[in-house]
Structure 1
Amino acid sequence: MDREKLFLYVLLAIVTFSVFVIVRPFLEYVLLALLLAYVLFPLHLQLRESVQRRLPSTRVAEIVSAVTLILASFVVLIIPILYILTAFLEDLRLISRGETDLQTALIERKLAEIAGVDVDIQETAGQLTEFLFSVFFHDVSHLIELSLHVSLGVALVLFLVFYLLLDGPALVAWLTDASPLSPGVSATLVDQIDRTTWGAVVGHAFAAVVQALVAGLGLYLAGISNVVFWTIVMMVLAFLPLIGVFVIWAPAASYLFLIDETGSAIFLTLYGITVVSFIDYYVRPIVIDKRARLNPAVILVGVFGGVYTLGFVGLFVGPILIGIVVAILETFRQEYRSSAQPELDTSGDSPGVDDGTATPRSSEVSRTTRASRK
Structure 2
Amino acid sequence: MKARTAFAVVLVGTLAVLSILVVRPFLDYLLAAMLVAFVLTPAQRRLAPEIGERVSALLLVAVTVVLFVGPAAFLVRAALEGVGDVPTSLSELPTFRSAERFVERTVGVQIGPQVSGFIESLGSMVAERSSGLASTGIHVFLGVLLFLFLLYYLLKDGDTLVRWAKDVTPLPEGVQNRLYGAAEEVTWAVLKGHVFVASLQGFVSGLGLFVLGVPDAAFWTVVMMFLAMVPIVGVAPVMGGATIYLVVEGRPLAAALLVVYGMTVVAITDDYLRALVIDKESSLHSGVVLLGVFGAAYFLGAIGIFVGPIVLALFKATVEVFSEYYDLV
Identify whether the pair has TM-score above 0.5, normalized to the shorter chain. Answer: yes
In structure 2, do the counterparts of structure 1 residues 189 and 133 end up closer, same or farther at CA, with 3 Å as the change threshold?
Answer: farther
| Unaligned residue ranges in structure 1 (runs of 5+) | 53-60, 342-374
Partner of 2:119: 128
SS of residue in 2 equivalent to 1:312: coil
User: What is the alpha-carbon distance in structure 2 between the residues aligned to residue 307 and residue 260 of structure 1?
Assistant: 39
In structure 2, do the counterparts of structure 1 residues 98 and 116 end up closer, same or farther at CA, with 3 Å as the change threshold?
Answer: closer
Partner of 2:103: 111
In structure 2, do the counterparts of structure 1 residues 79 and 254 end up closer, same or farther at CA, with 3 Å as the change threshold?
Answer: farther
The aligned amino acid for 1:210 is L
SS of residue in 1 equivalent to 2:110: coil
1:121-160 maps to which residues of 2 (within 5 A)? Answer: 124=115, 128=119, 131=122, 134-135=125-126, 137-160=127-150
The Cα shift of 1:199 comes to 1.6
Are 2:249 and 1:266 equivalent residues in the alignment? no
Q: Is the 8 A contact 2:26 2:143 kept in 1?
A: yes
User: What is the alpha-carbon distance in structure 2 between the residues aligned to residue 219 and residue 291 of structure 1?
Assistant: 34
In structure 2, do the counterparts of structure 1 residues 291 and 241 end up closer, same or farther at CA, with 3 Å as the change threshold?
Answer: same
Are 2:37 and 1:45 equivalent residues in the alignment? no
Partner of 1:311: 301
User: What is the alpha-carbon distance in structure 2 between the residues aligned to residue 282 and residue 2 of structure 1?
Assistant: 59
User: What is the alpha-carbon distance in structure 2 between the residues aligned to residue 77 and residue 132 of structure 1?
Assistant: 30
The Cα shift of 1:130 comes to 7.5
Q: Is the 8 A contact 1:196 1:324 kept in 2?
A: yes
In structure 2, do the counterparts of structure 1 residues 239 and 132 end up closer, same or farther at CA, with 3 Å as the change threshold?
Answer: farther
Q: Is the 8 A contact 1:66 1:162 kept in 2?
A: yes
Q: Is the 8 A contact 2:297 2:303 kept in 1?
A: yes
In structure 2, do the counterparts of structure 1 residues 116 and 99 end up closer, same or farther at CA, with 3 Å as the change threshold?
Answer: closer
User: What is the alpha-carbon distance in structure 2 between the residues aligned to residue 193 and residue 265 of structure 1?
Assistant: 44
1:155-194 maps to which residues of 2 (within 5 A)? Answer: 155-194=145-184
Query: What TM-score do you get using the length of structure 1 for normalisation?
Result: 0.75
Instruction: Give the one of 53, 58, 69 matched to 1:62.
Output: 53
Bigger mean CA deviation after superposition, 309-318 or 294-303: 294-303
Bigger mean CA deviation after superposition, 203-212 or 240-249: 240-249
Q: Is the 8 A contact 2:231 2:286 kept in 1?
A: no
User: What is the alpha-carbon distance in structure 2 between the residues aligned to residue 306 and residue 72 of structure 1?
Assistant: 27
Partner of 1:11: 11
Instruction: Give the one of 281, 289, 310 matched to 1:320.
Output: 310
User: What is the alpha-carbon distance in structure 2 between the residues aligned to residue 306 and residue 17 of structure 1?
Assistant: 21
User: What is the alpha-carbon distance in structure 1 between the residues aligned to residue 92 and residue 67 of structure 2?
Assistant: 29
| Unaligned residue ranges in structure 2 (runs of 5+) | none
Q: Is the 8 A contact 1:200 1:291 kept in 2?
A: no
The aligned amino acid for 1:12 is V
The Cα shift of 1:88 comes to 8.9
Query: What TM-score do you get using the length of structure 2 for normalisation?
Result: 0.85
User: What is the alpha-carbon distance in structure 1 between the residues aligned to residue 72 and residue 169 of structure 2?
Assistant: 40
User: What is the alpha-carbon distance in structure 2 between the residues aligned to residue 148 and residue 87 of structure 1?
Assistant: 17
Partner of 1:75: 66
Deviations 1:177-221 (A, max 9, x none): 111101111111111111111221232222112211321233245
In structure 2, do the counterparts of structure 1 residues 277 and 89 end up closer, same or farther at CA, with 3 Å as the change threshold?
Answer: farther
The aligned amino acid for 2:39 is V
User: What is the alpha-carbon distance in structure 2 between the residues aligned to residue 266 and residue 133 of structure 1?
Assistant: 40
User: What is the alpha-carbon distance in structure 2 between the residues aligned to residue 105 and residue 141 of structure 1?
Assistant: 34
Root mean square deviation of aligned Cα = 3.3
1:191-340 maps to which residues of 2 (within 5 A)? Answer: 191-273=181-263, 275-277=265-267, 279-280=269-270, 283-284=273-274, 287=277, 290=280, 292-337=282-327
The aligned amino acid for 1:152 is L
The Cα shift of 1:257 comes to 1.3
SS of residue in 1 equivalent to 2:327: helix
Q: Is the 8 A contact 2:90 2:112 kept in 1?
A: no
User: What is the alpha-carbon distance in structure 2 between the residues aligned to residue 187 and residue 103 of structure 1?
Assistant: 58
The aligned amino acid for 1:145 is S
Identity, % of aligned pairs?
36
Q: Is the 8 A contact 1:198 1:292 kept in 2?
A: no
Deviations 1:115-137 (A, max 9, x none): 2122449x9579638835742x4
User: What is the alpha-carbon distance in structure 1 between the residues aligned to residue 301 and residue 199 of structure 2?
Assistant: 20
SS of residue in 2 equivalent to 1:146: helix
User: What is the alpha-carbon distance in structure 2 between the residues aligned to residue 207 and residue 118 of structure 1?
Assistant: 41
User: What is the alpha-carbon distance in structure 2 between the residues aligned to residue 221 and residue 91 of structure 1?
Assistant: 28
The aligned amino acid for 1:24 is R
How many equivalent pairs are there? 328
The Cα shift of 1:276 comes to 3.1
The Cα shift of 1:24 comes to 1.5
Are 2:33 and 1:33 equivalent residues in the alignment? yes
Q: Is the 8 A contact 1:31 1:317 kept in 2?
A: yes
